[in-house]
């Protein structure tokens, strides 16, 4: 039977749409860089906004190395070694956990670290300064401790730190205190910092505190709440970033048995742990509450934020968040949040539409042929000085995300 012109036009339109969608699908390669250097569990790559384009690589084992712009270099200098002030019970999740430069680092030389200490077990947020004699060295004697978060166990510390690009306030993400099942039940308690996003002013002072409490923090007038709290209900956040273009605060939260999730962090937002994992009721909560004589039900008046995306155990076991790509090398990734799974080595690029408040794309940009031997087990995704993506690997390897060869 002969097809009508309208039918042919419709078929051609569908084919064009399908072709366009396929053509726009981003294809990438993982290109090794700094292959002549050895690293131990790199987890943060920071480039201060001071015009020097210096790259500072923090290793979980306690060293911060200054990398050459030459990605084929055979040497890296030591900027700072904090191993003598750290305390580690189990190095899988403890150690040097976060690094960020002050927005005005060019003029004040200040930077911030998070690291583990023991006796009592805690996560420390401290300020340091570069040496007055050598801008490529830190001043070990300059430490100013800002916050110490008590940690019941060795895991679920978090320690991500970042500055809001608009107002210069510092955010610190903190895990729920460790173990499994949310047994300490700290994420929902406003009296504790655990399982929270904290927000402070490192340039101000409130009372005797070594930092300022921003006046618009949501719980500042609650007499029992920690006034530093910005958001709550987190389990083990790892990988957070604020997109300078949209102001959206992306945060990846590591799950337990069901889901890994990505959230958009909002003021006073409650992200559900330990009431739920992802968007699903946490199945072990009822069994945990019974011996305590408590009801497992979520309070009726509790308003929980939904994750913008989650994936189950078929895709991975431990999420690593990244940043919103704004580089030019791969136009199809522009505006996408890069993230991956630490265990399986899957990498994705997610696009979130701020108007509809929904994820409208999630590209699977790296799928290992053998999930037991992934190309990279990502510990972090960071932009270089040009906004191009670099992926840090747990086993010491570092890659660029480049257009497919």
The domain segmentation of the chain, as residue ranges, is 41-340
Distance CA 175, CA 193 (A): 9
| HSE toward the beta carbon, residue 163, CA cutoff 13 A | 22
**What is the per-residue pLDDT for 7?**
44
Give yes or no for residue 6 having a pLDDT over 70: no
**What is the per-residue pLDDT for 292?**
84
Domain 41-340: assigned CATH number: 2.120.10.30
**What is the per-residue pLDDT for 295?**
83
Distance CA 42, CA 115 (A): 14
pTM to 2 decimals? 0.93
- Whether 146 and 127 have beta carbons less than 8 Å apart is answered as yes
Distance CA 22, CA 402 (A): 19
**What is the per-residue pLDDT for 24?**
53
- Reported confidence tier of residue 285, pLDDT bands at 50, 70, 90: confident
Give yes or no for residue 16 having a pLDDT over 70: no
- Mean pLDDT on 270-276: 96
- Mean pLDDT on 342-347: 98
Per residue, what are the HEC states of 314-369?
CCCCCEECCCECCCCCCHHHCCCEEEEECCCCCEEEEEEECCCCEEEEEEEEECCC
- Whether 268 and 231 have beta carbons less than 8 Å apart is answered as yes
Which of the two residues, 14 and 123, has the higher pLDDT score? 123
Distance CA 62, CA 161 (A): 16
Q: Helix or strand or coil: residue 298? A: coil
Least confident among 27-31, 280-284, 396-400: 280-284
Give yes or no for residue 269 having a pLDDT over 90: yes
Give yes or no for residue 169 having a pLDDT over 70: yes
Least confident among 23-27, 82-86, 103-107, 164-168: 23-27
- Mean pLDDT on 82-89: 97
DSSP 58-79: EETTSEEEEE-S-TT-S--EEE
Which of the two residues, 337 and 295, has the higher pLDDT score? 337
**What is the per-residue pLDDT for 14?**
40
**351-366: per-residue pLDDT in tens?**
999 999 999 999 999 9
**186-226: per-residue pLDDT in tens?**
999 999 999 999 999 999 999 999 999 999 999 999 999 99
- Mean pLDDT on 35-54: 96
- Mean pLDDT on 316-345: 97
Instruction: Name residues whose C-beta falls within 8 Å of residue 192's C-beta, 6 or more positions apart in sequence.
Output: 186, 226
**What is the per-residue pLDDT for 13?**
44
Arithmetic mean of pLDDT over the chain: 93
CA 227 to chain centroid: 23
**What is the per-residue pLDDT for 5?**
45
């Amino acid at each position: 039977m002969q097809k009508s012109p309208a039918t042919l036009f419709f078929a051609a339109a569908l084919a064009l749409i399908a072709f366009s969608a396929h053509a726009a699908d981003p294809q990438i390669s993982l290109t090794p860089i700094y292959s002549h250097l050895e690293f131990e569990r790199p987890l943060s790559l920071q480039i201060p906004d001071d015009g020097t384009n210096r790259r500072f690589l923090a290793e979980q084992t306690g060293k911060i190395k200054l990398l050459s712009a030459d990605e084929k270099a055979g040497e890296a200098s030591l900027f700072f070694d904090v191993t003598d002030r750290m305390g580690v019970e189990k190095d899988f999740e403890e150690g040097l956990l976060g690094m960020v430069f002050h927005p005005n680092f060019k003029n004040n030389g200040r930077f911030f670290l998070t690291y583990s200490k023991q006796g009592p077990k805690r996560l420390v947020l401290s300020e340091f300064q570069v040496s007055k004699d050598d801008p490529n060295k830190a001043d070990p004697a300059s430490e100013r401790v800002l916050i110490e978060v008590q940690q019941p166990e060795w895991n679920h510390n978090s320690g991500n730190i970042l500055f809001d690009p608009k107002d210069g306030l510092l955010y610190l993400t903190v895990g729920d205190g460790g173990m499994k099942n949310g047994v300490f039940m700290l994420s929902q308690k406003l009296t504790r910092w655990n399982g929270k996003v904290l927000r402070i002013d490192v340039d101000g002072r409130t009372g005797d505190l070594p930092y300022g409490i921003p006046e618009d923090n949501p719980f500042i007038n609650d007499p029992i709440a920690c006034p530093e709290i910005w958001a709550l209900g987190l389990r083990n956040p790892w990988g957070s970033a604020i997109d300078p273009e949209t102001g959206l605060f992306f945060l990846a939260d590591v799950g337990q048995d069901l889901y890994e999730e990505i959230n958009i962090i909002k003021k006073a937002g409650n992200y559900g742990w330990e009431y739920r994992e992802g968007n699903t009721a946490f199945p072990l909560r009822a069994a945990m509450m019974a011996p305590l004589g408590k009801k497992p039900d979520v309070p009726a008046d509790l308003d929980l934020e939904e994750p913008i995306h989650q994936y189950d155990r078929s895709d991975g076991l431990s999420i690593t968040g990244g940043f919103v790509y704004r580089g030019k090398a791969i136009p199809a990734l522009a505006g996408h949040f890069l993230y991956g799974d630490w265990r399986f080595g899957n990498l994705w690029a997610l696009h979130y539409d701020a108007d509809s408040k929904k994820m409208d794309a999630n590209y699977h940009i790296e799928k290992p042929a053998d999930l037991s031997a992934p190309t990279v087990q990502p510990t972090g995704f960071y932009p270089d000085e040009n906004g191009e993506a670099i992926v840090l690997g747990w086993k010491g390897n570092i890659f660029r995300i480049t257009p497919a060869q």
